[in-house]
Amino acid sequence: MMTQTNIVVAFYKPYGVLSAFTDPEGRPTLKNYISLPDIYPVGRLDFDSEGLLLLTNDGGLIHRLTHPQHHVPKTYLVQVEGVISPEAVAALQRGVVIKGRRTRRCQVVVIPEPSLPPRERPVTPHGPTSWLRIVLFEGMKRQIRHMTAAVGYPTLRIVRIAIGPINLEGLLPGQWRFLSPLEIERLQETSRR
């Protein structure tokens, strides 16, 4: 249960930032952007992925949002190499085998190129690309990259745009904001399903 001292922050993680507050290798971290004490990321985004990262000091909420039994949807915009086939999209939707385990069913739709902020290091494809909107209900390490590679379309760019009912609206890369009490309530409801 959230108390007055619990907070939740929505952060637009830029490309090339670690989803942690410290790094022995000296790479950019969350500390470069957020100076609030005692908050922790809800899950992770890879160093080379971008988009929505939630942070909170509520351990129970972190558990509910990251545990696969709660099926909290996470929505991504994904650029892949090549013109993706309907068969590959169908395979992604059904689930593909990664490291001996089949991924859960997910939602995958081919979309027009979205309007996104430019990345510090631009993507340089070797040919045509496709954009997908993927909604996952689990979170294996580097799952999207492994999934698209398994069907023959390497991932070039990943931007997470939503976790449950919370999205990136109003944020640019490197910006963060506190969630409102209503947003926190909606997030809690989603994580209890």
- Rg of the chain over CA atoms, in angstroms? 17
Q: Could you say which DSSP state residue 105 is in?
A: P
Backbone angles phi, psi at 80, to 5 degrees: -120, 155
Q: Mark residue 61 as left, alpha or beta (left: phi above 0; alpha: psi -120 to 50; beta: remaining).
A: alpha
Q: Residue 109: how many CB atoms within 10 A of its CB?
A: 11
What's the distance, CA 48 to chain centroid?
11
Structure tokens at 182: 């209503």
Contact 21, 13 (CB under 8 A): no
Contact 126, 79 (CB under 8 A): no
Give the catalytic positions in this structure.
46
